[in-house]
Amino acid sequence: MKYFYSLFIILTLAIGVVGCEEGPAEEAGEKIDRALDDAGDAVKDAGNAVEDACEDVTGENC
């Protein structure tokens, strides 16, 4: 029983340490997040350009 308890403690600590390290999945997730942020910024910029063009044509807020 003492062996099982010691093994349990060691495995629990090992999982905690391994869980804190960044692996390939976390890095890929961060790259995806950055790409989505960049795409969102591009869409906002395009929307602002369309709004500006509309205001130039109509002379009013669009």
**Boundaries of every domain in the chain:** 25-56
More confidently predicted of 51 and 16: 51
Say how far apart CA 25 and CA 15 lie, in whole Å: 17
Residue 5 is predicted with a pLDDT of 75
Mean per-residue pLDDT over the chain, rounded = 85
Three-state secondary-structure class, residue 22? coil
* Rounded distance between C-alpha atoms, residue 4 and residue 1, angstroms: 5
* pLDDT at residue 16 greater than cutoff 90: no
Half-sphere exposure of 58 (CA within 13 A, CB side): 9
Q: Please give the Cα distance from 46 to 57 (Å, whole number).
A: 17
pLDDT of residue 17: 62
Specify the higher pLDDT residue, 18 or 12.
12
pLDDT in tens, 30-45: 999 999 999 999 999 9
* pLDDT computed for residue 57 by the predictor: 93
